[in-house]
Homo-oligomer: A and B are copies of this chain.
Amino acid sequence: MKITFLGLGIMGSQMAHNLAKNNANLTVYNRTPIDYSLFKAENVTIADSLENAVKDADIVFSMLSTPEAVEEVFFGNGKVLKLMKDHAIWADCTTVNPSFSKQAFEQAKLNNIRFLDTPVSGSKPQAQNAELIFFVGGNAETFNEIKPYLNMMGKKTILVGDIGKGASLKMLVNVMLAQSMAIFSEAVLFGESMGISKDFLLDLLPNLVVSAPFTKFKAEGIRNDNYEVQFPLEWMHKDLHLATLTAYEVNQPLFLANLTKELYAGAKNNGMERLDFSAIFKHLKNN
């Protein structure tokens, strides 16, 4: 099987290296020039054009920044869907909204390409250690064909349902992330206001069953007033926006998610858009 990986940013490069380490027959390509030396050392094929990258591939993985970038590369100017072999598979790992995945599926079908939405749960460290979780939407048979490769990059693959369901679940998870972070932040601030020491709270709360476990890592950032970006606050705000937009489409009231969205909007307007989303703590502290 010939595998191609498009998009070698923070996440994509780690994922591609894990395919290489598992001896996949791999070709990689990034639209903007990057340093390919590590890939060369791994005997990975470096394509010299988008066309050469995808034309012989059995499976194309993509990990791009936004739905707009995916559209541009696959069914806009990049025309990857037209360049790919008949019946080949396109698995898109990018975080997009469910309706975009459905649109991508329709475009793929027109070009006789099989599509799956395969977004991931996890960030840089999980990508590096092949500990990602893949949320997959689409056909079970197609999923089984790509599963061995997903397993090289992650620790778990979940077929959530048909097209768009991978994207739906990913959106859901990000919304929970945003809200749990806000709740945790308000709790720490409230505790401090009642006279409990911040360090005590940051040590204790994340280890209680009432707190989402990821707050353990964010607590260290809060302790040191360090909001170095892992997942940018402005993207979290965008995901909250996409979620409430989708909730409107499916007639689901979301009281807390909408309010959380506005809290992040305030943080963004106060110059925290490029900090980690845990900077919502810093914003709430000032308000």
Q: Which residues of A approach B to under 8 Å, CB–CB?
A: 98, 121, 133, 158, 160-162, 165, 168-169, 172-173, 175-177, 179-180, 182-184, 186-187, 189-191, 193-197, 200, 204-205, 208-214, 241, 243-248, 250-263, 265-266, 268-270, 284, 286-287
Contact = CB atoms under 8 A, between A and B. Distances in A.
A251 B193 contact: yes
Q: Is the interface of A mostly helix, strand, loop or mixed?
A: helix
Contacts of A200: 160-161
A172 B200 CA distance: 13
Given A176-B211, A212-B211, A194 B256 contact: no
A80 to B, nearest CB: 27
Contact of A121 (B176, B208, B284): B208
Contacts of A165: 194-196
Contacts of A190: 172, 175, 243, 247, 250, 252, 254, 257
Given A168-B196, A187-B175, A200-B160, A255 B245 contact: no
Contacts of A245: 245
Contact of A209 (B161, B214, B253): B214
Given A194-B246, A194-B250, A251-B269, A182 B256 contact: yes
Contacts of A255: 182, 186, 259, 262-263, 284
Nearest to A255: B262
A241 B248 contact: yes
B256 A258 contact: no
Contacts of A133: 208
Contacts of A210: 173, 176-177, 180, 212, 214
A98, A165, A256: most-surrounded residue (chain B CB, <10 A): A256
